[in-house]
Structure 1
Amino acid sequence: MATLKDVSRHVRSKNAGPFWVTVDIFFDSKESFTRYAKTEKLAPSVFAQLYSADPAHVHHYLVPDLNILKISYPRTWPQGGELERDMHAGNQCKRLLNLELD
């Protein structure tokens, strides 16, 4: 069973403004990108569920020339707000690393 960390060379999350987070998945090869970037395991609905976001507001971008999948979703709480737990959103990608893709 392949996990995201098995088929990517880098996964990062970061702020995309005070109200959005972006996750970048850098696949380790063209083959991995072709096989997994469009899988239902990485669909916007999965991110909506994992990050408590409205599925209609989860954006899914493919960058085939670079073997990258970019996903943006609205933050649950605004950056720097009273209930914020990850100011720069750098830890949001960790829950994805063991996501089973097959």
Structure 2
Amino acid sequence: MPTLGSMAQLIRSKNAGPWKLTIDVMFPDNDAYRHVVDSDVMNAATMGKLFGIAKDKVEIFHYDPANAIKISFPRPYPNGHPQDRDIFGGQQFAPLVDLEVPDRPAPSVTH
């Protein structure tokens, strides 16, 4: 099974204000983007498990013109809090790199 890291051109995270993080996943072409979107591997339940966030707090946006997916969710601590381990939010994408993306099913052959 391919990983998201092997399929994406760029995976990055950053602050989306002091209370939220956002992760951008950008693909090199529409084929890779559609494969991931159609697999539904990047759903709220999976993202919630990976990042320790309730699934109803996860927002996922598909942006077809850019072959990109954006995920936003609340930070565990506000930006700059003494327990905040990543003030810029730049290292939070890591759990997505090894996320396995199901292979596309083989086309069925009819006789």
Fold in common (TM above 0.5): yes
Q: Does the aligned pair in 1 maintain the 2:15–2:22 contact within 8 Å?
A: yes
- The corresponding residue for 2:8 is 8
Q: Does the aligned pair in 1 maintain the 2:24–2:69 contact within 8 Å?
A: yes
- Note if 1:77 corresponds to 2:72: no
Bigger Rg over Cα: 2
- The corresponding residue for 2:100 is 100
RMSD: 1.1
Q: Identity of counterpart residues, as a percentage?
A: 29
- The corresponding residue for 1:65 is 65
Aligned residue pairs: how many? 102
**CA-CA distance at 1:40 after TM superposition:** 3.2
Distance 1:21 1:39 in 2: 24
**CA-CA distance at 1:45 after TM superposition:** 1.1
Unaligned runs of 5+ in 2: 103-111
Distance 1:16 1:99 in 2: 23
Distance 1:19 1:38 in 2: 30
**Partner amino acid, structure 2, of 1:68:** A
Distance 1:16 1:38 in 2: 26
**CA-CA distance at 1:37 after TM superposition:** 2.2
Distance 1:74 1:38 in 2: 26
**Partner amino acid, structure 2, of 1:58:** V
> TM-score by structure 1 length?
0.94
Distance 2:21 2:83 in 1: 16
> TM-score by structure 2 length?
0.87
Q: Does the aligned pair in 1 maintain the 2:51–2:95 contact within 8 Å?
A: no
The 5 A counterparts of 1:6-85 are: 6-85=6-85
- 1:10/1:77 CA distance change after superposition, 3 Å: same
